[in-house]
Structure 1
Amino acid sequence: MRVVDTTLFYAQSSGGVHTYVDSKRKGLLARDMEHKVVYPGAETVLQGDFIQLPALNLPMAPGFRFPTRVGLWSHIVAGLQPDLIEAGDPYTPAWAARRAARMLDVPAVAFYHSDLITLLHNRISPVLDGATRAYVRKLYDGFDLVLSPSRVMAERLWDCGLHNVEIQPLGVDAHVFHPNRADPLARARLGLGEHERLLVFAGRGSQEKHLPVLFDALRELGSGYHLLLIGTGPQPEAPGNATVFEHFMPAAEVAAWLASSDALLHAGDQETFGLVALEAMASAIPVICADGGALPEVVPEDCGLRVPPHDGVAMAAAVRVLFEEHDPVAMGERARRHVEAEHGWDKVVDSLVRHYRRLIGARPETRISEHHGPQT
């Protein structure tokens, strides 16, 4: 089986979609399958199984490039002669994936990593909701299968009138994210005292992460608590009891900081999945998260605490409850066991391969392409 992934999100050096594609690729190759990735960049670069195509730089969205030429993109994808094509965003690569799949008469899969409906609702105007739902329905109705990482996102797609949607949770590398990664000198590097609690968040500092809520919580908590932000970019409003690592970190470094912390704080209420919560749980630390988006599905009640969205005072109260009324170490251990049982990448890739084989099996063995000729 030859699978091609295409998404503009792979252009970022990190992020949930990048992790998903890399982890899936590792699993597919281990199963003697072929895998290629087509993604945007500054110029055309062909490097083994990775094809970078020129795309428009987006100054207002650092790290993102937007492809504008659907025809070029679709011809490149089709030229790779895949047995199945998967699109990981709701933009140009998705339309190109659909077109390439029709050229070759192969299945097209879309993964709903990005919640376009909520994104445009919050960043532009609720007035666009109807048009956005119509766009989502028109785009994804042309795919053989749409995968959603969570039930809350699947319900959003079902509400758009789509019927080709199935829930496919994501996974975590439990070898990389492991409690044994803890660094005994980590707290000293941050200048923390022996009894100070180290709280952590890792991810982009975008509007949807609601970092000001974390800042409100730390101001409410005061001394004795410290917040570490990893990869969020500059945060000039961060309180004095916070440390910001603005830059991207390799997964192993992020894993070491997670395992060295006491709990993850996550104020985002629009997550389609919330991979960093899973990484924290794999690192055997509990998660305090907003009770919104997909996070309640990812974090079981015995692995963390949930708080009302947009409420820093409530989050601070939950932090105190965690350390004063619960056993955070035992909670972290339960979180680790949950991840091992439910979210290993092998389990995720096995599920993906079953989806792929079912779709490919429903197609004729010979596919005809007016652009590339017959292939058996």
Structure 2
Amino acid sequence: MMYAPRSGGVKRYLTAKQTWLEKSRPDIRHTLVVPGARTRVDGEGLVTVAATRLPFGDGYRMPASLTRWETVLRLLQPDIIEAGDVFVPGHAALEAGDALGVPVVGFCHTDAAALAALHLGDWAEQPTFNFWAQAYQRFDHVVAPSQHTAARLAEAGVDRVTVHPLGVDTELFHPARGDRAKLFKRYGLSPDSRLLVFAGRPAREKNIESMVAAVEHLGDPYHLLLIGAGREARYSSRVICADYEREPQKLAGMIASCDAFIHANEHEIFGLVVLEAMAAGLPVIGPNKGGVGELIDSTVGQHAEGAEPQALAEAIEALFARDVEAIAQVARRRAETRHGWDITFDGLTRLYSQLIGRAPRRAPLALSA
């Protein structure tokens, strides 16, 4: 469900996996099954299933036909299915897995309960968590991209979990792509300005307003560049809103041209864009919670004590009181040595090879109101 024209980390993970498999494991046939305007083979390795476009959903679609999704999956005759969510596509994956006798892996990309509480109120958290828990208990295995996510799954009673952090294309996201002088000239910034950047969807959980408030509170010399996240918003001249960038090379160049990256989501499952910023040679400011909190420490950036504007502002000042250039170099080295896609996908293909051939161990379907 999180695959859309303007979607972020999940889509980049899926397309990176497909590209890596084509290059490194041509013996594996990999097919993406995603929502689209109609049901069709939409290119080599890509099948779209008709789904209604969500109003104000930035291109996202809501899968509704369980039968349609299950039929497509069964026709593909896979040896293993990776399900990216627990709703209709995930349910269809489990049904298809039962019919085909193949393992189904749930890849946990979102904390549905935390999002429900944020968007609907605290009353929605527990019922959503119960549904989320029951759904993941049915998978033969679950992949978590962070220890934070694994802990949430353990709390939900899910015990067949492997932690596989996501990775980054260290050739695409590289300090050499940066052109600070050109970017600063484009936006009319003086050379002594300090430019923070965030790239992502304008979703509530990203806490865009908190980042904006922190920079506006600090004043000179700080500015904030929002790539894709500030569309149609009206901020002060201290905040620059750039359109969503479809070209990966241009996005990588924009990020590498800034001074530091900032992320304010305390409930992020992983935070792939944080790795991309580190690979581009940027120190990262982010909360000390969630997936972002796991990715950064004092050697590659600066933890904030929370996602509130004051906490972010203090972290920004603390970072720039240190040797930012040295921190940036360490951030780049960490991305190279720990988070290349080769490391991620080698581990994932080994896990999936082990699961193929095992008898599925799914729990029976349990529904609760």
Q: Same fold (TM over 0.5)?
A: yes
Give the gaps of 5 or more residues in structure 1.
1-7, 365-376
- Residue 128 of structure 1 deviates from its aligned partner by 2.7
1:56 aligns with 2:70: no
Q: Distance in 2 between matches of 1:358 and 1:69?
A: 31
Quick check: 1:176 aligned with 2:172?
Answer: yes
Instruction: Give the counterpart of 1:118 among 114, 117, 122.
Output: 114
* Cα offset, 1:268, TM superposition: 1.3
Which has the higher mean CA deviation after the structures are superposed, 295-304 or 307-316? 307-316
Verify: 1:10 aligned to 2:6, yes or no. Answer: no
Q: Secondary structure at the match of 2:48?
A: strand
Q: CA deviation at 1:226?
A: 1.3
- In the alignment, the residues of structure 1 paired with residue 4 and residue 182 of structure 2 have an alpha-carbon distance, to the nearest angstrom, of 34
Deviation per residue, 1:107-161 (Å, 9 max, x gap): 1011100110101111113223332222122211221111111111111111111
Structure 2 equivalent of residue 43 of structure 1: 38
List structure 1 segments (4+ residues) > 3 angstroms apart after TM superposition.
Answer: none
Q: Does 1:149 align with 2:145?
A: yes
For residues 269-315 of structure 1, the C-alpha deviation after alignment (integer angstroms, 9 at most, x for no partner) is: 11100111111100111001122221111113210001122321232
How far apart are 1:363 and its partner, in Å? 4.5
State the percentage of identical aligned residues. 38
SS at match of 1:294: helix
Q: CA deviation at 1:12?
A: 3.4
CA distance in 2 between counterparts of 1:165 and 1:66 reads 27
The residue type paired with residue 41 of structure 1 is G
Q: Does residue 156 of structure 2 align to residue 163 of structure 1?
A: no
The answer to whether residue 274 in structure 2 is matched with residue 281 in structure 1 is no
Q: Secondary structure at the match of 1:302?
A: coil
- Distance in 2 (CA, whole Å) between partners of 1:239 and 1:270 is 27
Q: Distance in 1 between matches of 2:127 and 2:298?
A: 36
Contact 1:90 1:116 in 2 (8 A): no
Q: Is the 8 A contact 2:102 2:357 kept in 1?
A: no
Distance (Å, rounded) in 1 between the aligned partners of 2:302 and 2:12: 26
Mapped pair 1:330 → 2:326 = yes
2:49–2:68: 8 Å Cα contact kept in structure 1?
Answer: no
CA 1:42 to 1:233, structure 2 compared with 1: closer, same or farther past 3 Å? Answer: farther
- State the 1:233 CA deviation: 4.4
CA distance in 2, matches of 1:93, 1:189: 43
Matched, 1:66 2:59: no
> Partner letter of residue 281 of structure 2?
A
Deviations 1:174-231 (A, max 9, x none): 0000000012411111111111111100001110010111111111121211111001
Q: What is the CA-CA distance between 1:242 and the residue it aligns to?
A: 1.2
Pick aligned residue for 2:293 from 293, 296, 302: 296
For residues 245 and 253 of structure 2, the distance between their equivalents in structure 1, rounded to whole angstroms, comes to 14
- Asked if structure 2 preserves the Cα contact closer than 8 Å seen for 1:233 and 1:247, the reply is no
1:193: which partner in 2? Answer: 190
Residue in structure 1 matched with residue 253 of structure 2 by the alignment? 256
* Aligned residue in 2 for 1:28: 21
Which aligned pairs between 1:232-251 and structure 2 lie closer than 5 A?
232-251=229-248
Q: Which of the numbers 221, 225, 228 marks the counterpart of 2:225? A: 228
What do the CA deviations read for 1:321-364 (whole angstroms, capped 9, x no partner)?
2222x111110100111111110001100010011011004259
Alpha-carbon contact 2:6-2:58 (below 8 Å) kept: no
Tell me the TM-score normalized by structure 1.
Answer: 0.91
Please state if 1:94 is matched with 2:87.
no
CA contact (8 A) 1:284 1:333 kept: yes
